[in-house]
Amino acid sequence: MKKLRSYIIGGIIVLVLVILIVARFSSIGSSENARRSNIPLVKTEKVIREMVEYKLQFNGDVVAIQQAGIYSKVSGNLERVLADMGTHVHRNQLLAVIDSTELYQQVQQTAATYANARIIYQRNNELLRQNLVAKQDRDNAEAAMKVALANYATAKTKLSYARITAPFSGFVTKRYLDAGALVTNNNSTLFLLMDLDTVKVIVNVLEKDIPLIALGKKAIVAVDAFPGKEYEGTISRVSEAVDLSTRTMAVEIDIPNKDNSLKPGMFATVTLVVSQHSNAITVPTYALMKDNIGQFVFALVNNTAKKVRVQPGIEIDTRTEITSGLTGEETIITTGQQFLHDGGPVTVQQ
C-alpha cells in the first residue's frame, strides 16, 4: 500500500514537471511569434529609367486662319452672282456685280461739274493775270474746282464698289443672296469667305502652365472625323494676357491644311509636349511620402528600411520622375511604407 502511494505521488510530480516544461516552451514560442509579427510586411520595386514627357491636353474647335463676311458698300439690285457655296476663289476675283446704272449717272454728273469748275478756274486765273478780277474770285474758283474733283473721284470709287471682289484667296463657305435681290450698303452679307490652306485651334492655357508655353513649340492635333490620324501644329500666337474670369490665356495653334481635310467647326483635341526628359528615374507615385521637411521614399537595404530624401519632378499617370536623391539602382518600398521608420527591419512579401 505504501509502495502504491509512492508511485502515485511520483507520477503526479512527473506530470507537473512535464506541464511546467511545456508551458515554458510555449511562452518562448509565443514571444518569438509576437516579435516576428511586429516586423512590417512590405512590397518592393526596382526604380526604372525611362523617357518622361510632360504633356498638356486641350479641347477646341478648328477655325479658318482668316475669314470674312463679304458685304456690299453700295445699294442696288444684285445683277450677277459669279461664285457659289464651295467655290474656291483667288484674291481680287470677281464674285458678284451690283446694278450700276445710277452710280454711272452720278459719275457722269460729277465729271461734268468738275469740267465746268476747271474751266471757270482757268478763266479766273487768266483774268487775274490781267488784273481784271480779284484774287479772292480766283481762289473761290480754285476751291470749287477741287470740291468738284473730289466729288468726281468719290463717284468713281462708288462705281467700282458695284463689282464685289474677293479680299483674299479661299473658299466661299456660304452664299446668302441670289441674283435680283435688293442689296443695301453695309448691312447685306453676300458671302462668307474662308482661307483653309492653314487652319488654327484656339486653346485656353491655365495660369500655372503659362511658363511652359512658348512660340514655336509643336502640338499634336486630332479630330473626331479622322480617328487615329494626327496633324502637327505649331504655337503661333499667344494672348500675353490672362482672362480674369477664367484665369486662362488664349493660345493659337496653326496647322497646315494643304489638302483641306480639316474643316472649320470640327472638334479637336490638342496635345502639347511642353517638356521631355530622356533616361529619367521614375518611381510609383504612391511610394512617395511627405513630412514637414519634404518628400522621401523608403529604400530596402539589407532587409531594413532606409529613408531617402528625394526631389520629385514630372508626374505622369501613376509614376513620378525623381530629379535628385536616387541613383537609379535602388529598390524602394512601395507598399506598407506608412508603418516604417528609418533603419527599422522589414519583411518583404514574396
pLDDT tens, position by position, 114-129: 999 999 999 998 888 8
3-class secondary structure, 314 = strand
* DSSP code of residue 240: S
Chain centroid, CA 260 distance in Å: 21
Q: Which residues contact 336 (CB under 8 A, 6 or more apart)?
A: 40, 41, 42, 43, 346
Average pLDDT, the chain: 88
- pLDDT of 10: 59
The closest alpha carbon to 343, from 319, 308, 316, 291, belongs to 308
Q: Are 285 and 227 in contact (CB under 8 A)?
A: no
Class (C level, CATH) for 56-63+195-276: mainly beta
Q: Which residues pair with 299 in a beta bridge?
A: 306, 332
* DSSP code of residue 203: E
pLDDT > 90 in the chain, percent: 62
At 337, the pLDDT band (50, 70, 90 cuts) reads confident
Q: Which residues pair with 300 in a beta bridge?
A: 305
Domain boundaries, the chain: 1-31, 41-50+278-348, 56-63+195-276, 100-161
| pLDDT 10s digits, 197-215 | 999 999 999 998 898 899 9
Cell of 1: 500500500
Buried b / exposed e along 282-302 (16+ C-beta atoms within 10 A): bbbeebbbeeeeeebbbbbee
Q: What's the CA gap between 213 and 211, in Å, rounded?
A: 6
- pLDDT of 33: 47
Is the pLDDT at 235 greater than 80, yes or no?
yes
Q: What's the CA gap between 64 and 194, in Å, rounded?
A: 6
Q: Which residues contact 64 (CB under 8 A, 6 or more apart)?
A: 170, 194, 195, 196, 199, 200, 264
pTM for the full model? 0.67
The closest alpha carbon to 331, from 287, 290, 286, belongs to 287
Is the pLDDT at 37 greater than 90, yes or no?
no
* Beta strands 295-301 and 182-183, pairing class: unpaired
Class (C level, CATH) for 100-161: mainly alpha
Q: Which comes out higher in pLDDT, residue 307 or 275? A: 307
The closest alpha carbon to 203, from 57, 326, 320, belongs to 57
Domain 41-50+278-348 classified CATH 2.40.420.20? yes
Cell of 20: 511546467
Buried b / exposed e along 106-134 (16+ C-beta atoms within 10 A): bbeebbebbeebbebbeebeeebeeeebe
Q: What's the CA gap between 211 and 348, in Å, rounded?
A: 43
